[in-house]
Structure 1
Amino acid sequence: MANHDIKGKTVLIAGGAKNLGGLVARDLAAQGAKAVVIHYNSASTKAAAEETAAAVKQAGAEALTLQADLTSAAAVEKLFTDAVAAVGRPDIAINTVGKVLKKPFTEITEAEYDEMAAVNSKTAFFFLREAGRHVNDNGKIVTLVTSLLGAFTPFYAAYAGTKAPVEHFTRAAAKEFGERGISVTAVGPGPMDTPFFYPAEGEDAVAYHKTAAALSKCSKTGLTDIEDVVPFIRHLVSDGWWITGQTILINGGYTTK
């Protein structure tokens, strides 16, 4: 049987500078990963990426930061080839990249749709393609989606709608990569207590989301805390390898399928 321990493994995290991606980087380093590649999107997140890299090194792992706008296939390909050249082929590849838009369907512009599709669908597609090319046999691939994929709700057509294709990308990749022992999963957190969440929501919506999950009263914020998501990702990329081709909603009972 293949070794599914995190110790000694090489990890690549797209969107690994801060929030959930940054905490996953720190956690996997603490679990004994050999090297963690931390991707960040732009100069505005460079400092956060360097801070995460410093924490990864303090935990005993090698750290590499790489900047890229991943909305082109060439950029995703370069991210993987640069990572492989620097630290070797990844055993674990995690994509946390995403963009949210909350807006009435009839007001969404073509430019807004194109941007949402590029970030949420196209990036995910080509990340999975390059992971299939570069991740070692018996590796693990995880993509972040959203618990809104289990919701019947207005105003998120462009956000949830451009995350939805990732479910089928995940199933197809799991089937195609499975013969190499690679498991592929999607993780859909509920609304998370991060700066990613609040700008899109009004005060009333924030109040609703903080009470909408079955376990809201047991959460420190009422929302999904990133600390509650990290252990599941850790499990999926190690002992949970047998879970593949599925979307796992981690949301305290916010939505279900």
Structure 2
Amino acid sequence: MSIDNGIRVAIVAGGSRGIGRAIVRRLAEQGYAVVVGYAGNADEAAAAVKEATAAGAAAFAYRADVADESAVAGMFAEAEARFGGVDVVLNLAGRLYLAPVAEMDLDEVDALHRTNIRGAFVVAREAARRVRRGGSITLFSTSVVGTYHLTYGAYAASKGAVEALSKTLAREMRGRDVNVNAIAPGPTATELFFEGKSDEVIDQLALANPLERMGEPRDIAELAAFLSSPEGHWVNGQVVRANGGMI
């Protein structure tokens, strides 16, 4: 049954953990109906839905590999069936693989590109076909595109593709009244980010920006909510490096 009564509807691919989960929570607080897209961890997705409903939002979780066009189309179709349409799409689903170029495992590179590049194109294509007028599409990059840290070659290259995609799509949406942007976070305090890093490395990264702290998922969620909102609609075709001023 549709609940389309003026409520804006958001799909957050990669919404079960970390920054994505913070975005789900923030959009729920702002009154959106939210679809939590996830790849594998049903418990985390259920917890994200529980947080959204506790904030008063209608929400459900949908399992979809972002690189699988049939699964992604199914997620959009379910959102339309339950909520009446889709207004906002954010894709945070991603994969990280670190290695010097000379030592790269090309199977790992292929897997990275499948999620980070193909997945971004699949979600963007479905969003471009279905998002309603006045809506918003936000893809996710990384501030490593620009800092070029050692061992991040494959990951940064995949996110460079996402930035090119977002800028091109913004222009292709002419006449649709849909803004398209990319957010490129810097180091952000998520469980995934902390994994495998020493306290010394974390402290160094925290001091790499003039604000001298790690980003918090809420910092990125506030930006994502703004870009998705009518108030942020004039921001279009941009890559926003949300990193506290890290160079």
Query: Which interval holds the TM-score relative to the shorter structure?
Result: over 0.9
Q: Distance in 1 between matches of 2:114 and 2:104?
A: 15
Q: Among residues 129, 132, 154, which one is paired with 2:125 in the alignment? A: 129
Question: 1:41 maps to which residue?
Answer: 39
Question: 1:243 maps to which residue?
Answer: 235
Q: Distance in 2 between matches of 1:12 and 1:237?
A: 11
Mapped contact 2:117–2:158 kept (Cα < 8 A) = yes
Task: Report the TM-score, using the length of structure 2 for normalisation.
Answer: 0.92
Mapped contact 1:76–1:123 kept (Cα < 8 A) = no
Q: Among residues 214, 217, 221, which one is paired with 1:230 in the alignment? A: 221
Q: More displaced, 245-254 or 146-155? A: 146-155
**Residue deviations 1:199-218, cap 9 Å, x none?**
354555333212211111xx
Question: 1:252 maps to which residue?
Answer: 244
Aligned pair count reads 241
Mapped contact 1:102–1:200 kept (Cα < 8 A) = no
**Residue deviations 1:154-210, cap 9 Å, x none?**
210011111111111111111111311000000011011111212354555333212
Q: Among residues 85, 100, 104, which one is paired with 2:100 in the alignment? A: 104
Task: Indicate the SS of the match to 1:97.
Answer: coil
Task: Indicate the SS of the match to 1:212.
Answer: coil
Q: Distance in 1 between matches of 2:203 and 2:52?
A: 35
Mapped contact 1:15–1:38 kept (Cα < 8 A) = yes
Question: Is 1:140 aligned to 2:136, yes or no?
Answer: yes
Q: Distance in 2 between matches of 1:67 and 1:87?
A: 17
5+ residue gaps, structure 2: 1-5
Question: Is 1:116 aligned to 2:112, yes or no?
Answer: yes
Task: Report the TM-score, using the length of structure 1 for normalisation.
Answer: 0.89
Mapped contact 1:101–1:200 kept (Cα < 8 A) = no
| Superposition map of 1:201-212 within 5 A | 201-202=197-198, 204-212=200-208
Question: Is 1:23 aligned to 2:22, yes or no?
Answer: yes
5+ residue gaps, structure 1: 1-6, 217-221
Mapped contact 2:10–2:88 kept (Cα < 8 A) = yes
Aligned alpha-carbon RMSD (Å): 1.5
Question: 2:156 maps to which residue?
Answer: 160
- Report the alpha carbon displacement of residue 32 of structure 1 after superposing the two structures with TM: 1.5
User: Which amino acid in structure 2 is aligned with residue 234 of structure 1?
Assistant: A
- Report the alpha carbon displacement of residue 104 of structure 1 after superposing the two structures with TM: 1.2
| Superposition map of 1:167-206 within 5 A | 167-199=163-195, 201-202=197-198, 204-206=200-202
User: Which amino acid in structure 1 is aligned with residue 216 of structure 2?
Assistant: D
Q: Distance in 2 between matches of 1:192 and 1:119?
A: 20
Q: Distance in 2 between matches of 1:124 and 1:88?
A: 24
- Report the alpha carbon displacement of residue 58 of structure 1 after superposing the two structures with TM: 2.0
Q: Distance in 1 between matches of 2:155 and 2:38?
A: 21
Identical-residue share of aligned pairs (%)? 31
Q: Distance in 1 between matches of 2:218 and 2:49?
A: 19
Mapped contact 1:190–1:249 kept (Cα < 8 A) = yes
